[in-house]
Amino acid sequence: MLRGFYTAASGMLTQQRRTEMLTNNISNANTTGFKADQTSVRSFPEMLLGNMQRNAIPTDNHLSVPKLSQVGSLSTGVYVQEANPLFTQGTLEETELSTDIALADENIPINEETGKAGSVLYTVQDKDGQMRYTRDGSFTLDGQGYLTNSKGYYVLDENNERIQLENDRFTVTEKGIIFEGNNQAARLGIGYADDPIKQLVKDGEGLYRAVDNELPNAHAAEGLTFSTKQGFLEGSNVDQSRTMTEMMSAYRSFEANQKVLQAYDKSLDKAVNEVGKL
């Protein structure tokens, strides 16, 4: 009985974590460059139940031999194994602001091991010199003319140097090259992760940290094509209708496990307070 109690409780905890993740996705549906999280739910190893019996042998000594018969398997519960971002591109929205620059995926190679496409991301740096990556192209110029993102991180060029411009009247080509008038000022630093699930770790606020400290330069990657679009921003890739459906499914599953838990609680109460009196 207690085994079923723990199994139902694990189901409730799993659905609670799924609901929290889905709620976070919905709340960031309008966040620039946000990548929706997806959970991977797995079950604990199943237990094989058996029934021990003794078969009597018709002898004067009344001998018997043990016999084991299988009853069947019993699930021991489920758990959320991991939550990984979905790195598909969001919808590009036109803003007509020169400091808004979106990354547009064109031909992103498929990873042979995972069967999924990689991802390209802007390279940014905080005030302590720590390098991070993001798909949020909502940039601006600070008081010293440095190109920064919406969180105040410095946008880096392909040599991992900060980009300093005279004003916001610059142009960006589809190759990520920044021109001030007819002069080339810099080229946006863009990293490439062929397996972003393994190579990147979420660092909050739409930022990612590379597991190996630095991603390779996307401009030099073979077979990879992408473009930068000035005056555009990439929206989140959250599918709101699907996410709401999954939230309702998680809620129903939580409710079902809750009812099972209540049934076990009533059975334990009866066993202690009524059967125990006999």
Q: For 13-47, how does the pLDDT look when each residue is reduced to its tens digit (9 = 90+)?
A: 899 999 999 999 999 999 999 999 988 887 776 76
User: Could you tell me which residue, 220 or 70, shows the higher pLDDT?
Assistant: 220
Answer whether 0.95 is exceeded by the pTM: no
Euclidean distance between CA atoms 193 and 210, whole angstroms: 9
* pLDDT of 1: 54
Instruction: Supply 155's token pair.
Output: 């946008």
DSSP per residue, 84-139: EE------EEE---TTBEEEEEEEPPBPTTT-SB-EEEEEEE-TT--EEEES--B-
Distance in angstroms (rounded) separating the CA atoms of residues 148 and 167: 13
Residue 49 has pLDDT above 80, yes or no: no
Would you mind telling me the total number of residues written for the chain in this entry? 278
Cβ–Cβ contacts within 10 Å for residue 52, how many?
8
Per mean pLDDT, which range of 59-63, 142-146, 197-201, 214-218 is the poorest? Answer: 59-63
pLDDT band at 275 (very low <50, low <70, confident <90, very high): low
Would you call 155 helix, strand, or coil by DSSP?
strand
Q: Are 36 and 83 in contact (CB under 8 A)?
A: no
Would you place residue 278 in the very low, low, confident or very high pLDDT band (cuts 50, 70, 90)?
low
Mean pLDDT, the chain, as a whole number? 88
Position 54 scores a pLDDT of 72
Q: Which two tokens stand for residue 18?
A: 């799924």
Output phi, psi for 153, to 5 deg: -80, 140
Q: Which residues of 83-115 are buried (b: 16+ CB within 10 A; e: fewer)?
A: ebbebebbeeeebeeebbbbbebeebeebeeee
138 pLDDT exceeds 60?
yes
What letter does residue 215 receive in the DSSP assignment? P
* pLDDT band at 50; cut points 50, 70, 90: low
**pLDDT tens digits along 65-112:** 777 777 777 667 787 878 889 999 999 999 999 999 999 999 999 988
| Closest alpha carbon to 168 in 95, 221, 119, 100 | 100
